[in-house]
Structure 1
Amino acid sequence: MMIEARGLVRTFKTKRGPVQAVQGVDLDVADGEIVGFLGPNGAGKTTTMRMLATLITPTSGTATVAGCDLAKDPVGVRRRIGYVPQSGSTLPEAVAGDEVVDHARLYGVSKAKAIADGQRLFEELDLPGLWRRQCKTLSGGQRRRLDIVMGLIHDPKLIFLDEPTTGLDPQARANLWEHIRGLRARGATIFLTTHYLDEADALCDRILVIDHGRIVGAGAPEALKQQVSGDSVRLSLADRTDDRANAEAGRTHATDAVIRIVRELDGATSVEAVADGVNFRIPRGGSVLPGLLRQIDAGGIELDGVEVHRPTLDDVFLTMTGRSLRDDSPAPADEPEKQKEVVA
């Protein structure tokens, strides 16, 4: 295992008393995996990542990261990992290329190799011609890609990426996705957080869902989607009458009839009438529809349209946490700023 953690806890002291930002996290990441670590704001994602990257000390629990014990050999962990923080790490007045070379030298990379590898990464991550530019003159997206170059310059086998594509335009995001896949193809392991569900779906072999400091779900994206109760189906009913009262009466009769038919289907859940028809969820919605439509037609009911939507990762989050991944409502503190550690 590239990462093996058991019972990780991180407690912070706040003015209101101790707050457990992470409450007993167990997780495993195999060599060569791309693992997405996802959850709503304040769920404990960044705190957990910072513990695994040795940036903060766990209050309790154990972990082995890149073959080194997190508590006994944090220096060994640091030598083997790359870390790209969400907030960035470059100095505004520094020259971009100098920042990359200096960062590589801290890992024992020769200056010549650091320059060669850094300029190659600049080309791969769409930063051509910016090697001698001051960081403060770069756009937000360019600075983000520079952060990623710095995290990769020493060729780590385990890379932590905290919201790596924040601030990137669609083309730059797609470019970075390809680069991440290329890193995995060369044997690297990627552990990333993201608020972009399409990113997690496209990139990750497995997803870990954290909420209120605990892992509440884990699995491949498709497996997690299958845990949601089926595909979402909407049946829109036709309205062919001119008189409004008759139309509403006809719609009510047709709606009731469709609901009765749908409820007889094996596995149908969340059956409800809506303004223009009926919504429900059912496993393998596409394969169920032909028979369902024949029954509705036999009942003399006319439809205006049919929509089938497979579960999304946002549906997974709503099911597991009761809120969307991008929910900005307050949540338990995820590493409260300037708080003191509570010693276990």
Structure 2
Amino acid sequence: MSLRVLNYLELESHLQRSGIGTAADHQRAALDGTDVEVVTSPWQGGAPLSALRSLSTGDGVFREYDVAHCNLVGPGSLAVARHAKRNGIPLVLHTHVTREDFAESFRGSTTVAPALGRYLRWFYSQADLVLCPSEYTKDVLESYPVDAPIRPITNGVDVDALAGFADLREEYRERYDLSGTVVFLVGNVFERKGLTTFCRVAEATPYDFAWFGPYDTGPHASKAVRRWTSDPPENVTFTGWVDDIRGAYGAGDVYLFPTKNENQGIAVLEAMACGKAVVLRDIPVFEEFYTDGHDCLKCDTTAEFREAVERLAEDDALRERLGNNARETALEHSLDRVGDQLAALYREVHDAVRAGRSVDLDTVCDGR
């Protein structure tokens, strides 16, 4: 029996530039190769206002589906969760947001993070199954504690979507005036992602640095973001929004990611899938995925990051070896594996709720 699953990302049009948006895209692309039928909006007519009009005609607000899977934690997801619990629909909540990775993202986010943590504990505990990108995130959720079965499953990497990245190398290097060994990072510009360290390493080295991704200098921006983007080191380029992310991976040579906290880090997998040498901060989440000296270099201090960048810039053989191994690591997170795992988890949660029992994660294939 095929399942009809709601895969919902509220505020989707505003999250296309985010890791959460990419993760949802990966889920849907991965499920294309399974027997799961995916709907992306819970609302009759495809939007809340259309659903209200449907209510006036007696058709109800929500569409029909066998499993509800929400990727965010706002009012739309809360409405879906309440509808699911009232109507016996299995509820899957995906943890892309924790209080830990919310801190140091926006102005005031660190102050708000503790209150957010209390809300997340309550919200995620409603689920019949909580999915998260890593064992690290599972440990974080259990520390809250979240009272629901929790299963790690990789966000995956869309290797096919990156095809042709090398062909864009010269175009993007010329566009952003980059030459020689280019040290780069892909994603939204946040202090949490190691912005200050990225710029300090640039100041201490002669290479071109490029951060490919949007940034906010308005009232929501942190002081660090406003400071560095308004007056960057001479060898640092903040590109803003990039129309084809493949160009970023084509232009760059060494992927420097001194992030302070991640649930997984999709852009790391993308850089690895492109065979780039990767330098990471040595934080717990990366321990379960990557091995220092094999598919990446791991560092703790600004000095160590500088030394790693210089070493890779000067050693072509090391850069190539790490990049080749990184590509093999990325293939372990292919979307076909993600699709099979998601389909199995949906079926288990559906069967468990219908039978009035708890979800048995031991019956489902390894979620990583």
Give TM class, smaller chain: under 0.3
Q: Higher strand fraction: Structure 1 or Structure 2?
A: 1
Task: Kindly indicate which of the two structures has a greater share of residues assigned to helix.
Answer: 2
TM-score normalized by the length of structure 1: 0.26
